[in-house]
Structure 1
Amino acid sequence: MYKTTGDVMQGFSKEHTVPYLLQTGDLAMACAMSESVQPLLMSFGRVTTDPDQLAVMMSLQAGGCAEDRGREAELQSIAALRARNPEEAEDAIIRQKRYYALAAERYFKGWRHFKAYYGDPETEECPDFDEDLDEFIYLAGLLSGLQALNAEIQSTAPIGVPKNVGSVAARATSCLDNEKWWGAPMGLRATVWAMIPGAQPEGEDAFERLDASDALGEAAGVRISHVFHVIAAWNKGDMERVRAVIRRHAEAIEKRPPADGWVLVDQLATHNILAISDKLWMENTGHRTPMGGLGTFWDDEAPTGEVIDLDSLL
């Protein structure tokens, strides 16, 4: 009975739960689900085959939940430093590192499930995909590996993530159609080129590739490439480019709604872009990005034009 139940749960999750989740835009709900349901789903591996493919998605999302809490702690540390409260700032930094360590463990768990299901991309050829969802989860697995490394670095704790995981993930993106997947495979690859010294092939330009990937994502209504672009620019210390990508993202989401069936992915991109914007705003003003202010900055010139007498409207 348990085996049958486990097989049914795995099949239902892949055929209905994951697609349903991808077409919703409630990131908080997706976060809560991934953290609460994953232990139940994974426990069926004790009585039937391990749900490795589904675990890739759930570990990636759960890692993002922990990373979000790390970002919140980082904002609190910045605010405390501005308020000249070093003890509060130090406590927030410690919490930030703990959350990033948890995020790294979750992302790395997703990477291990990815390799268990698809094979090790470092030693094996591209897998045969049965359907689009299989390809998407493959992309999610590559992102899990890259995120595991990034989160481990942020935590300053030794989690055990292989240092070559970024390069391995970058090479494995060639298994996916870049145009079909909104420029994300090339965006991930170019980000690794920009972040790892010596990784960029001769004759390539990481940021030209990122610009091209951004255009594909904007046309498709899935702007995840913007996240890769802003991470690469931040790593290079190019704050002007960071701000330009944030502005570009804000303009893009105003011009075109998210693609049907991939709303959650696009919302996740906006969520991550907003997190970068919030950090910039907090560092420079002491508060986050104002409501409705994504794509604007504290030092923007005030718009000029006709002054409206508000009293006349009352």
Structure 2
Amino acid sequence: MHNKTNKSMPLVRVLGVMALVVTLAGCSVNPLHKITGDVMTGYAQKENTPYVLAMTDIEMACSLGESVDPLLYSFSRVTMAPEKTGTLLQILSGICMEQRAVEEELRYLRADYNGNTGNMRDARENMQRLYGITANRRVEAYQRMLRGFSYDPVPGAECPDFYTDQDEITFLLGLAAGAQAVIDNGKARGRAEVPRSIAAEVERSADCVDNEKWAGLPKALQASIWVLLPDLRPNKDVDPWATLKNSRELGFERGLRTSAALELLMAENVGKDKVIADSLAYLERTRDEFQVNPEYSLPDLVGMRIAWAVSDRIWTEKYGYRTPRDQFGKTGKETDSKDDVDTEGLL
């Protein structure tokens, strides 16, 4: 009996050492990861987010979203998920994917113009795939926003508590991402399976932020939903197009032209050519007078990129090429007799 106990002691000691090693490894690695994650999340929320919102390089900003999001969110395995910062990162990554989808859409329109059926079919298929990915990213941004504010957008729900302007713009951009996801899913022929209930959630939730303060964007979001789902209008006398026009003008006054982008998207979606022409002409006519809010340069530029994309689709469908730089604000050439090819610029 004594010998048996002595023989078992080395095994007990080995197991004890292994347990100690595992404990020490856990203490030395996991807490470090957690601290790193907390520091990165805090920095991203307090410093990086306002910096990105003020950026004037859309490509660099969207690349940041695609590259940083997996890194930052990997720390959710050891600490709380950075939902509010993650909302913006997914919005940025959605901008990247949308631009790729737009390029395929323009390729489709060029192929259609030139009668190239093969290229047309290929571009349309790829366009729908990319819009599906765009919709998925924007749904994720919307859902992160909901989690970040512990907000359930059911009828009668209380609005979240906002402690800073950054909280409000994060909430608002998250709502915009949700609305755009519904539109993108339509362009993807339903590939992303975005619930249409998101539209009603966005319409209700937009009342949580002040319309005057945020350059008409809350009302523009609501009016966009009223165009998609007329039954959600508060009463039949409400004209969504008048609301969108007022939001566009308020956006100009407050230094943020994002509302105009929503107006253009909705007008394009339902074939309101006169609204498109009026909105594009307004953006060009007011361009020299417009003063952007420098804190939100990026959302303004993204709005203008959407406006250019709408214009490019019109020009490409009509003429086989995108909007010339000196023709923005017009929905077509004033005369077909002028040779508008800049041969020097091609050299």
- Asked if these proteins are the same fold (TM beyond 0.5), I'd say yes
Matches within 5 A, 1:86-235: 86-118=117-149, 119-122=151-154, 124-202=157-235, 203-235=237-269
Counterpart AA for 2:290 = R
1:299 Cα deviation (Å)? 3.3
Alpha-carbon displacement from aligned partner over 1:246-287 (angstroms, at most 9, x marks no partner): 111122232123112111111111100000000000001111
How many residues align? The count is 302
In 2, Cα distance between the equivalents of 1:51 and 1:251?
Answer: 41
Matches within 5 A, 1:18-57: 18-57=49-88
Counterpart AA for 1:72 = E
Aligned counterpart, 1:272: 306
Aligned counterpart, 1:309: none
In 2, Cα distance between the equivalents of 1:212 and 1:162?
Answer: 29
**TM-score scaled by structure 2?**
0.84
8 Å CA contact 1:195, 1:235 repeated in 2? no
Match of 1:15 among 40, 46, 59: 46
In 2, Cα distance between the equivalents of 1:102 and 1:24?
Answer: 24
8 Å CA contact 2:113, 2:319 repeated in 1? no
1:150 Cα deviation (Å)? 1.3
Counterpart AA for 2:225 = V
Alpha-carbon displacement from aligned partner over 1:156-200 (angstroms, at most 9, x marks no partner): 144332211111101100000000000000011011111213222
Aligned counterpart, 2:19: none
User: Is the partner of 2:231 in helix, strand or coil?
Assistant: coil
User: Is the partner of 1:24 in helix, strand or coil?
Assistant: coil
Q: Is 1:243 the equivalent of 2:274? A: no
User: Is the partner of 1:262 in helix, strand or coil?
Assistant: helix
In 2, Cα distance between the equivalents of 1:30 and 1:109?
Answer: 18
Structure 1 or 2, whichever has the larger Rg, is 2
Q: Is 1:78 the equivalent of 2:109? A: yes
Counterpart AA for 2:129 = R
Task: Give structure 1 stretches of 5+ with no counterpart.
Answer: 303-314
**TM-score scaled by structure 1?**
0.93
Task: Give structure 2 stretches of 5+ with no counterpart.
Answer: 1-31, 337-347
In 2, Cα distance between the equivalents of 1:289 and 1:48?
Answer: 48
8 Å CA contact 2:64, 2:92 repeated in 1? no
Shift in alpha-carbon separation, 1:237–1:150, aligned structure 2, 3 A: same
8 Å CA contact 2:109, 2:316 repeated in 1? yes
1:301 Cα deviation (Å)? 6.0
